[in-house]
Amino acid sequence: MAKEETVRNAEKLVAAAMKGNDASHDAAHVFRVRDMALALAVEEGLSSSTESIEIVELAALLHDIGDYKYVRDPSQEKLVEKFLEEEGIEESKRLKILGIVKGMGFKEELAGFKNQEQSLEFGVVQDADRLDAIGAIGIARCFTFGGSKDMVLHDPAVKPRSEMSKVEYMQKDRQTTLNHFHEKLLKLKDLMKTKAGQRRAERRHEFMEEFLKEFYEEWDARA
């Protein structure tokens, strides 16, 4: 674990910075990602390195602070850097944490971002976040987010975008909630970076496929 006081302070920052978010991207989401990232780290053999575990835990806790979907004040984008400096995190470790936080988003992958080191720490944090976006919790989060943005639930006339740039992905105003499954969520299984993440993603992916099959049958009055 990271130093206990720093972890507690990070948890407080998460609670304060995300208190106005809807339940798809609230503090509970972050704490689930932290717990999953630590579990994946153990499965991937990182538990013997105190530094690696500290990097994983802090990056997981800080990964959604300053999220573009919720930023109300531009200064929020610097909160993570400021926090790490105030906590006295050494530069090498601070840079690794910031590299994970800034590079792990799906939109960054669309833009062609490649984590310089392809570090295992990066992989377990990114996989943990993506696991929380799929399966039963992922379905719940998807509809929660769509509802908070007044998105149309489903419109057969609006087709999912097969290819997107980072900018196009960030423009969600004309999309439906169901299309998000096809544009992102169903792709995440094949984008997992760790074997532990891949194993867990299989079951969650299958659950989403079954859900969508049932959804479309009910929508079309076939079930």
Q: Where are the domains of the chain?
A: 4-219
What is the CB neighbour count within 10 angstroms for residue 217? 11
* Distance, CA of 221 to CA of 218 (rounded, Å): 5
Taking 80 as the threshold, does the pLDDT of residue 143 lie above it?
A: yes
- Give the mean pLDDT of the chain: 90
> Which pLDDT band, with edges at 50, 70 and 90, does 3 fall under?
confident
Taking 90 as the threshold, does the pLDDT of residue 179 lie above it?
A: yes
Res 90: pLDDT: 94
Residue 152, SS3 per DSSP: strand
Question: What is the average per-residue pLDDT within 124-132?
Answer: 97
> Which pLDDT band, with edges at 50, 70 and 90, does 107 fall under?
confident
Q: Which residue has the higher pLDDT, 173 or 84?
A: 84
CATH of the domain spanning 4-219, picked from 3.40.50.1220, 3.40.50.11610, 1.10.3720.10, 1.10.3210.50: 1.10.3210.50
Question: What is the average per-residue pLDDT within 8-31?
Answer: 95
* Distance, CA of 195 to CA of 96 (rounded, Å): 22
Question: What is the average per-residue pLDDT within 7-21?
Answer: 95
Taking 70 as the threshold, does the pLDDT of residue 199 lie above it?
A: yes
> Which pLDDT band, with edges at 50, 70 and 90, does 175 fall under?
confident
